[in-house]
């Protein structure tokens, strides 16, 4: 078996809150292999957002270890984590999180800007990424000129433009109607199938989670179930 993309051991995250400590994650052991398509489910307060932030290197654990693509990232500094986010992770957010004043093309270019790529190469790769999500003709549009589904497609293009180890999708369809949701799920599935892209998706909708091959359910900061969908 190949090396896991994600491996966490006893991952713990506590938040101090008004003199008390909220234990958001209480020792999560999780391994995700390359090319997997995993959904993380759980009710609100189960710790799935916290786990998402830790996997996405936006936050550091209180205790426990986390290896991303073979490198321990749980003890890294802010700037090292920024580098890891830039190279290894592509985020897709529920609220799209596009820069409102920038064109679709510039939004997709942005991770490459921070990667230090020259402008010409950035533009070319961003244009390719937009074309791959079917927005080749919307590159100069600003987010306000795009529909919700189109915005989320721009966000997906932005996530995959750096060819990251994993795409982390946080409730990617939470702000979309069901038809558009299906459209977005199709694109993610397509990425998974044709590119072998590893996808980790947080959702509370079982409908959406069924697109994944594996469903990890969290409860009270711990994994309560981890099921592979019957092939």
Partner 1 sequence: MPIYEAIALALGMIRAQKLKSFFSLVGAFIGVMFLIAVVSIVKGMDKYVQEDFAAKIFGINTFTVNRRPGVQFGNPGDATRRAWRRRPQLYEDDFHAIRAALPDSFLVAIESSNQAEGVVGTRHSAYIQVSGVSEDLFKIRDYQIAEGRIFTPEEINHSANVVVIGKDVADSFFTGVDPVGNTIRLAGFPYTVIGVVEKQGNVFGISLDRFAIAPYTSAIKKVVNPHKVVDGIIVKSPDEPTMHDAMDRVESIMRSRHHLRPAEDDDFHLDTQEDVLSFWNKIAKVLYTALPMLVGISLVVGGIVIMNIMLMAVAERTREIGVRKSLGARRRDILAQFLVESATLSTTGAVLGILAGLGLARLVKAVSPLPMGVSPMSIVLGIALGVGVGIIAGVYPASRAAKLDPVAALRFE
Q: Write down the least CB distance from residue 80 to partner 1, Å.
A: 9
Q: Does residue number 115 form part of the binding site for partner 1 (CB under 8 A)?
A: yes
Q: Does residue number 119 form part of the binding site for partner 1 (CB under 8 A)?
A: yes
Cα–Cα distance list, 205 to 67, 143, 172, 190, 202 (Å) = 28, 26, 11, 20, 9
Q: Write down the least CB distance from residue 228 to partner 1, Å.
A: 30
Out of 33, 114, 174, 175, which residue is the one contacting partner 1 (CB under 8 A)? 114
Q: Which CB sits closer to partner 1, 112 or 187?
A: 112
Number of residues that bind partner 1 (CB under 8 A): 25
Q: Does residue number 111 form part of the binding site for partner 1 (CB under 8 A)?
A: yes
Out of 9, 22, 58, 213, which residue is the one contacting partner 1 (CB under 8 A)? 58
Q: Does residue number 56 form part of the binding site for partner 1 (CB under 8 A)?
A: yes
Q: Does residue number 131 form part of the binding site for partner 1 (CB under 8 A)?
A: no
Q: Write down the least CB distance from residue 186 to partner 1, Å.
A: 25
Rounded CA separation 91/168 (Å): 5
Q: Binders of partner 1 among 68-107, rule CB under 8 A?
A: 78-79, 82-83, 85-87, 91, 93, 97-99, 101
CA quadruple 209, 83, 142, 118: dihedral sign: negative
* Binding site residues, partner 1, CB under 8 A: 53, 56, 58-59, 78-79, 82-83, 85-87, 91, 93, 97-99, 101, 110-111, 113-115, 119, 158, 162
């Amino acid at each position: 078996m190949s090396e896991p993309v994600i491996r966490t051991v006893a991952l713990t995250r506590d938040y101090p809150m008004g003199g008390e400590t909220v234990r958001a994650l209480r020792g999560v052991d999780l391994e995700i292999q390359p090319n997997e398509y995993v959904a993380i489910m759980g009710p609100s307060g189960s710790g799935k957002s916290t786990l998402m932030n830790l996997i996405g290197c936006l936050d550091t654990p209180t205790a426990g270890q986390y290896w991303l693509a073979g490198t321990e990232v749980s003890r890294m500094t802010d700037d090292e984590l920024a580098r890891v986010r830039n190279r290894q992770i592509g985020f897709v957010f529920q609220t799209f999180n596009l820069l409102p004043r920038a064109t679709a093309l510039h939004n997709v270019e942005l991770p490459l800007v921070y990667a230090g790529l020259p402008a010409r190469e950035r533009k070319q790769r961003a244009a390719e990424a937009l074309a791959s999500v079917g927005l080749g003709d919307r590159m100069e549009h600003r987010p306000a000129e795009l529909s919700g589904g189109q915005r989320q497609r721009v966000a997906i293009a932005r996530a995959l433009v750096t060819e990251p180890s994993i795409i982390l999708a946080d409730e990617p369809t939470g702000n979309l109607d069901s038809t558009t949701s299906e459209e977005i799920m199709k694109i993610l599935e397509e990425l998974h199938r044709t590119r072998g892209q590893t996808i980790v998706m947080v959702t509370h909708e079982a409908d959406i989670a069924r697109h994944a091959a594996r469903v990890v359910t969290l409860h009270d900061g711990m994994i309560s179930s981890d099921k592979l969908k019957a092939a």
